Amino acid sequence: MSNQPTEKPKAEIEIQQSQIPTFYVNFTGIAQSNYEITFTMGRIKEASDKKVKIDGATSIIMSVEFFKTFADLIKQIEKNLENSQKGE
């Protein structure tokens, strides 16, 4: 028996769009611990020099390992956007 890691087969992912809440956000706060990354997202309702009021905030919490995968995906999307903008 080999000790070589084997790649897991990629399963098809089916998402029921009607069941996913959708939010527009223009504010993101990020907090981290040794185990989790927390994104708090919402929409700026009011802003002044002294205070920013956020409306409809929600939190997304993920493990550090998942965050690393997520960050890699975001970097790839950013690279794709930059490449597509060069071709305009």
Residues 24-51 pLDDT 10s:
999 999 999 999 999 999 999 999 999 9
Entry pTM: 0.67
Q: How confident is the model at residue 88 (pLDDT cuts 50, 70, 90)?
A: low
* 19-86: CATH topology: Transcriptional Co-activator pc4; Chain A (2.30.31)
State which amino acid sits at residue 13.
I
The mean per-residue pLDDT over the stretch 2-17 comes to: 72
DSSP letter assigned to residue 49? S
| Burial track 2-34 (b if 16+ CB lie within 10 A, e otherwise) | eeeeeeeeeeeeeeeeeeeeeeeeeeeeeeeee
Q: What is the pLDDT of residue 66?
A: 95
What does the DSSP 8-state code read for residue 18?
G
- CA 25 distance to own-chain centroid: 12
Domain map (residue ranges) of the chain: 19-86
- Residue 2 pLDDT greater than 70, yes or no: no
